Amino acid sequence: MIVAIMTPIMVEHEFVEHAKVAHYGRFQAAIERYIRENNSWDTEKDALRFAIAEENNRKLHRTPRNSPHMRPQGQADAPYFSGLPPPRRRPGSKASEELPFAFVLTDTQGHILHAGKDYKIGQKLTEEELSGADSLWVKGRLVAYALSSGEPDLSTADLAYLHTLRETLLFSALGAIVFIIPFGIWEGSRLVRTLNHLTSAVNRMAEGEFKQQVPVKSEDEVGALAKAFNLMNTQLHEAYKNLEDSRNKIAKQAEQLKELSIRDELTGLYNRRFFNEEVKVLHANALRYGNGFCLVLGDIDFFKRINDGYSHVVGDEVLKQVAKILMNSIRNSDIVARYGGEEMVLALPNTSPQAAMEMMERIRKTIEQHPWDSIAEGMKVTMSFGICDETNGEHFEHMLAVADELLYKAKNNGRNQVCSLSCSQTH
C-alpha cells in the first residue's frame, strides 16, 4: 500500500524535475545567446531588453500550433525565447485559463525577466522571495534565478500513464493483501498453537508435573523454541528425578543413621540413651495425668555360665532371641531397650501393676519354654524381672532403682520369676 501511494507521487515529482530541467535549459540558452550578442548582463537595461524579447516571443507563440504561419524552431531571426515551447493547457481546459504550471525568471538583481502567475515584468523580487529560487548558471557564472509554481502541465499520455500506474499498483496491493491475510491467519494460528502448548506445559510444570513435551511442527524460530524447551524439560526432569532419588536416599540414610544411633547393634532393641529420653516424657505424663506407669528391669539368669559353657557366640544368639521375644510380646506403646550386658528394661505406659505382672509372667514363660536346644544342645534359658509402679518420685531414676532392688530380690528367691512391690507371685 505504501508503494501504491508513494510511486505515483514520486513519478509526478520526476515529471516536475524533468520539466524544470527542460525549461531551465532553454532559459540558460536564451540568456547565453543574449550575453553573446550584447556582451552585457545584470543591468536594468539588460533586464528590460530581455523582457521585451520574451514578451514578443509569447505573442508570437499565440499562433495556433498547427498554423502554417508558426515560425519554425531555430529560425535565424527568432527572438531569444524562440526556443521555448508554446504554452500548453491541460486536456479539457479553456484557452482563457492560466497555465497551472508557471515559471518566473529574474536576473541576479531580482528583476523579473519572464513573468509567471501573480508576477509582472519589471517587478523586483525581494531577497526573501529569491531565497527559495533555483540558480541558473552559464559557463560557471550565476546569471539568473528561476521560480516554479503550480502543478505540471502533463500531456494526455502522461496522465494516462499515471492513471495506469495507479491502477496497477492498487490491484497489486489488493492482490498482496488477499494473499497475505490468509497466510498471516494460518501462520499466526500455527504460532499461537505452539505458544499455547508451551504456555500450558510451563503452567503444568509450575503445578509440579515436571515431565512435559510440546509438539514440534516447524523448523522456524518457534520450532527451535519448542525443541529447546523439550530439551530443557528433559534435562530438568532428569535433574529433578536424580535430586528426588538423592533426597530419598539421604532421607533413608538419615533414618538409618537415626536408627543406628538409638538401637543396640546386637539385639536391635533401643539403647539406653534413647530409653532414658523417652521415659522422661512418659514419667512426666504419668505424674501430670495420674495414669498408671510401670518400669520393668529384667536380667537373663546365669548368663555368664552360658558364655563360659557354650561360647560368646551362643551368648550373643541368646541375647538376640530374648530381644525378639520381648519385642513380639509388648504393645506398640511400650518401649523395650537393652540397658547393659544381659540386662533389659521395659517402660509400660497406661499400665496397672496387675496388668504389668500378667504381661511379664507371660513373657517369662515364653522365654522359659523357648526351644533353646536348637541353638545349643541341652541349654536352658530363663529370665527374672523386677516391676516398679511407684511414680511419686521426681525422676524416673527412682523407679529404676526400685525395679533393680525387686530384680535382685527375684534373683535371691531362686530366679526365673517376676517380683513386684508386693512380691505376691514368685516362681
Which residues are marked as active site?
Answer: 342
What is the b/e burial string over 370-406, where b = at least 16 CB atoms within 10 angstroms of the residue's CB? bebeebbeebebbbbbbbbbebeeeebebbbebbbeb
> Which residue, 393, 384, 369, is CA-closest to 414?
384
What's the rounded Cα separation, in Å, for the pair 84 and 214? 76
DSSP 8-state class, residue 374: G
Crossing angle of helices 2-38 and 156-206, in 10° steps, is: 140
Crossing angle of helices 2-38 and 44-60, in 10° steps, is: 120
What is the b/e burial string over 57-74, where b = at least 16 CB atoms within 10 angstroms of the residue's CB? bbebbeeeeeeeeeeeee
What's the rounded Cα separation, in Å, for the pair 33 and 28? 9
Q: How far is CA 256 from CA 252, 253, 260, 390, 407, in A?
A: 6, 5, 6, 36, 34
φ/ψ of residue 215, rounded to 5: -70, 140
Extract the C-alpha cell encoding 360. Answer: 511379664
